[in-house]
Amino acid sequence: MEQFLFFFIALVAVASAVYFVFARNPLYAILSLIVTFFSIAALYVLLNAQFLGIVQIIVYTGAIMVLFLYVLMMLNLNAKDESKKQNLTKFIGIFSAGILFVGMLGAYKGLSQSNVVQNIDSSIGLTKNLGKLLFNEYVLPFELASILILAGIVSAVLIGKKDL
């Protein structure tokens, strides 16, 4: 059942990604990208990486898609602007995707079944293990990154502040 669910969600992700590439209406393209992001988050959850799934939903589906929709509304694209695009860029994209597909097919053919690990650790991908690793082994880079982000926020406030 879990394997069927995985393949179904993967099919939804690939179908919505293909629709994103070939959609004529930019709003529908962005909505299909949202479906793609949600299905990728579901795949992360199925692979026992709940933290990555939640981050995928919060960061990409939430913040990035709101930004895309905002830019789309600001650009005010019309259907008459769509006819100005060249077919050469679409052909290059299809050709690149075909080369990627052939490469993935060759990599899949080169896989052997003997490399499959039989003992699966169910604790891999849990947020508890990530927190232990982050606050024990990588505490200095974590704190330096937080100081860097704080400096960026303070700098943005100072730059944007009006002189009185």
User: What fold characterizes domain 1-78?
Assistant: Four Helix Bundle (Hemerythrin (Met), subunit A) (1.20.120)
pLDDT tens digit string along 115-163? Answer: 555 666 666 667 788 788 888 888 898 899 889 989 988 888 888 776 6
pLDDT of residue 157: 83
Phi, psi torsion values for 23, nearest 5 degrees: -70, 140
Residue 65 banded pLDDT, cuts 50, 70, 90: confident
Closest CA to 64 of 36, 90, 92, 87: 36
Q: Is the pLDDT of residue 39 over 70?
A: yes
Residue 40 banded pLDDT, cuts 50, 70, 90: very high
User: Could you tell me which residues come within 8 angstroms of residue 82 by beta carbon, excluding any fewer than 6 positions away?
Assistant: 24
Under a CB-based contact definition with an 8 Å cutoff, are residues 65 and 38 in contact? no
Backbone region of residue 130 per phi and psi (left: phi > 0; alpha: psi in -120 to 50; beta: other values)? alpha
Q: Where are the domains of the chain?
A: 1-78, 126-164
pLDDT of residue 95: 86
> Which pTM was predicted?
0.58
Closest CA to 61 of 91, 40, 88, 45: 40
- How far apart CA 84 and CA 19 sit, in angstroms, is 20
Under a CB-based contact definition with an 8 Å cutoff, are residues 38 and 15 in contact? no
pLDDT tens digit string along 67-116? Answer: 877 777 777 665 565 555 567 777 887 888 888 888 888 877 776 555 55
